[in-house]
Structure 1
């Protein structure tokens, strides 16, 4: 009798354990949580965390336990791809919010496509991210072929640049953005003194010497804040006050910290809205500050929005599946074909390759270490 009771107890425990596992739904984040770009990657994870916390009750009503699993890609393609394989192996993870870097998104999404793990990026702008036509890759931000021309047009119309020196960081992101800027500038008769790639992080003296010889009206740098901040600091210390323009890789308060007093006459396009430009983001900003003891930035807002797209997609797939846990394929399809509302950056729907049908580019300025919104540009993807 005791053996029978014990056996029943064990079987019951095992059954309960299995049921619990079946009702657990996870989403993952993939972004740099360590290293030089962790400021932005942490914002993405934190924004997604707040969205997950907000949606837990809705999932609970359907009988699901919702959780977030963050992965650190260190802004490195190989590390990100290895993390993607771990995500694919965890069958409870139905979708991913990420990545920050296009160079990480491209191989990571390729590693996940066979498992039908959907990705919704809050940051990736390189054209190739979606031009490959993968069924699982989506983004809620504008592409380089929109951001690059927006930056070039700002150089022409606002800064009145006639000669531009272009730098890039030799990544998929930096090279792609710089190429789009160069193409637009040349098409409008602006002289491009150089489009130089550099992986330098600490000593820009040789590049600064070339810039001084060329005497450009504007310098464009397709790169990330931790590298560009050092360049700006050394450029200003050398006596060069030329305006510097960049892309959304500069969208971090850390660039002003790194460049110090040199953080002036800097402009950047960004695909993530400054929180102060979105009235609906005030509540999120207060919650973010309370939860993480830090101010929310643009990628925190877009990490939140990308997570809401994922979560609404999972819920839609679950409801279409009779309120049962959906498959990855069902979630992948629900995200690509869905229409998502209640987001801070506006409603979201995707075209056939995963680009947002209507996006906004923001142009920011940094003057004497102070950030300010200069203008906004509404854009649509090339392919509808």
Structure 2
């Protein structure tokens, strides 16, 4: 064997070692389009968590990289990102996706490659009901959030007749269905559970609602659509309370609805920063880094990322401080107990649901979003 050959082998070996010492964590969220406000908040929270963990990995000789993917809240775009992630073996886990309608196909696409996922926002029951070993989430399910919304409608708003709307997505339909089920169980009259993907002109829908004169309206949808609906509803002189889920959890709702954002409520698993004493330092760092205040989706993006990163770190240490396999990371996340999160300690049941979570009811009015109440919940699945 000559010197040239030995040099070539040494070079290849160094290149291989370098590749093995780099790992990547991905995020999948809408970074452009109508839902970019909450997607960017989540991405920023994830970025801060990665920056915190990079020194710990560096001590082990591992370079930790963060790669955000923009799914535009579109299942096809999310699945395309999943294929890229699956093909690059340096990707060990994903934080996301944000929307349930994206998370469901993305997790199915990544399951054969054993790429672990921890969603910070996907609430649809189907996300975890499929029993995928790679899919976990840090927020409460629709079958917890739906009844919480129904309880608020009946106990706080004293509604006897409710008009339900949904945005025809996995998220919106799932949430509206759970609200409808819970309301009917309480003897409340549900006028209809109507799907709409309208984004601009709600005049026909508003006219129907005016004729029905409901005590309250429930809309399972996202802030960019619901904000327009609220504005047009109020412009038509209808001041009926509007209740929604965590899809309304964005300051952009106030921007879109303007002065019409009154008598609006929503349930969310993402606590306002001021409700979490542990989040003060995080909020200050977020503001300094991104020149804007942290909102709920940033908090849960950060927490979901910490679960992923600690899971990867645990798997690395169990693997004698060497880069772990995807399957080792998948197992470490599902079976781990994760302390030090802004939202409290997290661990997952056999389905990938958080064993204990908290829901918050927020009130929108006077140009502000304020905490109304908090509700501890547990997943209905084992």
The answer for unaligned runs of 5 or more in structure 1 is: none
* Residue aligned with 1:165, SS: strand
Cα deviation, residue 15, structure 1:
3.2
Cα deviation, residue 376, structure 1:
0.4
Cα deviation, residue 13, structure 1:
4.3
Cα deviation, residue 79, structure 1:
0.9
Distance 1:346 1:227 in 2: 32
Distance 1:13 1:169 in 2: 56
Q: Which of 205, 208, 232 does residue 207 from structure 1 map onto? A: 205
Q: Does 1:256 align with 2:254?
A: yes
User: Residues 152-171 of structure 1 correspond to what in structure 2 (within 5 A)?
Assistant: 152-171=150-169
Distance 2:103 2:219 in 1: 21
Instruction: Give aligned pairs, total.
Output: 381
User: Residues 350-365 of structure 1 correspond to what in structure 2 (within 5 A)?
Assistant: 350-365=348-363
In structure 2, the partner of 1:301 is 299
* Residue aligned with 1:30, SS: strand
* Residue aligned with 1:160, SS: coil
In structure 1, the partner of 2:23 is 25
* Residue aligned with 1:276, SS: helix
Report the TM-score when normalising by structure 1: 0.97
Distance 1:149 1:112 in 2: 31
Q: Does 1:284 align with 2:282?
A: yes
1:340-365 CA distance string (max 9 Å, x none):
11100000000001000000000000
Q: Which of 97, 104, 115 does residue 106 from structure 1 map onto? A: 104
User: Residues 312-331 of structure 1 correspond to what in structure 2 (within 5 A)?
Assistant: 312-331=310-329
Q: Which of 58, 62, 65 does residue 63 from structure 2 map onto? A: 65
Cα deviation, residue 147, structure 1:
0.1
* Residue aligned with 2:121, SS: coil
* Residue aligned with 1:199, SS: coil
TM-align CA RMSD: 1.2
In structure 2, the partner of 1:189 is 187
Distance 2:157 2:367 in 1: 19
Distance 2:208 2:241 in 1: 16
Distance 2:23 2:58 in 1: 10
* Residue aligned with 1:343, SS: coil
In structure 2, the partner of 1:119 is 117
Distance 1:15 1:38 in 2: 43
In structure 2, the partner of 1:348 is 346
Distance 2:380 2:60 in 1: 39
In structure 1, the partner of 2:85 is 87
Distance 2:26 2:194 in 1: 36
Moved over 4 A (4+): 6-13
In structure 2, the partner of 1:76 is 74
Distance 1:329 1:59 in 2: 19
* Residue aligned with 2:72, SS: coil
Distance 1:181 1:150 in 2: 8
